[in-house]
């Protein structure tokens, strides 16, 4: 499991719900959160192989093959199921504010790349800080609510990302996380399994 994940993060470093498709985002935050959480949980029913190769994809609305992906792809697919295209939103912000993102320093890139930029955890962290809410990192599980995004350092500067959902672990009482760390999307009690590096909320460009 870890070998595939580490290999994938060295490159990435970083299927919409049929009933919702790519319709317009909901008009209220509570509704958005409810649908986003449901979309994230629905992702756990899809078999996904951890494949991290660079793939050219359409823009906007592009995706890697539905049976492949990395941790960021589950976040992207969950948002797209509620009408928010992170590929488009991240790319447009990077075109205007490329210097704010780590592409040049971390990957020695000189311009945005809509094929890959939104699939890199460090880029998503900057985007959420700029366009969403960046919240305090806490050791109190009650601070992390359904719909929140959490990033971690798995060690050796390997980043990871997941979505908090509305299911709780019977033992710990903590909200569970939907994430893909190498064995496809899972819903698990992993909030404090690794060092948390970011805690965000993002409701899309309209909310």
- Assign 159 to helix, strand or coil: strand
Write down the pLDDT at residue 25.
77
The domains of the chain, with CATH numbers, are 2-201 (3.90.1720.10)
Grade residue 4 by pLDDT with cuts at 50, 70 and 90: low
5 by Cβ neighbours in 10 Å (0-12 / 13-18 / 19+) ranks as buried
Q: 178: part of which helix (H) or strand (E)?
A: strand 175-179
pLDDT digits over 127-163, tens only?
999 999 999 999 999 999 999 999 999 999 999 999 9
d(CA 159, CA 14): 6
pLDDT digits over 95-137, tens only?
999 999 998 888 889 999 999 999 999 999 999 999 999 999 9
pTM exceeds 0.85, yes or no:
yes
């Amino acid at each position: 499991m870890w070998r595939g994940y580490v290999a994938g993060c060295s490159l990435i470093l970083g299927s919409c719900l049929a009933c919702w498709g790519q319709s317009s985002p909901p008009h209220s935050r509570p509704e958005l959160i409810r649908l986003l959480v449901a979309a994230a949980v629905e992702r756990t029913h899809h078999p996904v192989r951890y494949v991290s190769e660079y793939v050219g994809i359409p823009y906007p609305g592009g995706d890697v093959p539905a049976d492949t992906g990395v941790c960021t792809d589950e976040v992207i697919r969950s948002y797209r199921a509620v009408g928010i295209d992170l590929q488009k939103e991240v790319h447009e912000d990077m075109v205007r504010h490329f210097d704010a993102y780590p592409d040049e320093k971390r990957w020695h890139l000189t311009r945005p790349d809509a094929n890959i930029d939104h699939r890199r955890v460090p880029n998503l962290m900057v985007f959420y800080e700029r366009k969403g809410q960046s919240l305090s990192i806490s050791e109190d599980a009650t601070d992390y609510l359904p719909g929140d995004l959490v990033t971690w350092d798995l060690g050796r500067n390997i980043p990871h990302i997941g979505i908090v959902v509305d299911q709780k672990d019977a033992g710990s009482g903590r909200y569970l996380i939907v994430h893909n760390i190498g064995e496809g999307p899972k819903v698990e009690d992993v909030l404090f399994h690794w060092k948390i590096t970011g805690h965000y909320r993002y409701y899309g460009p309209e909310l």
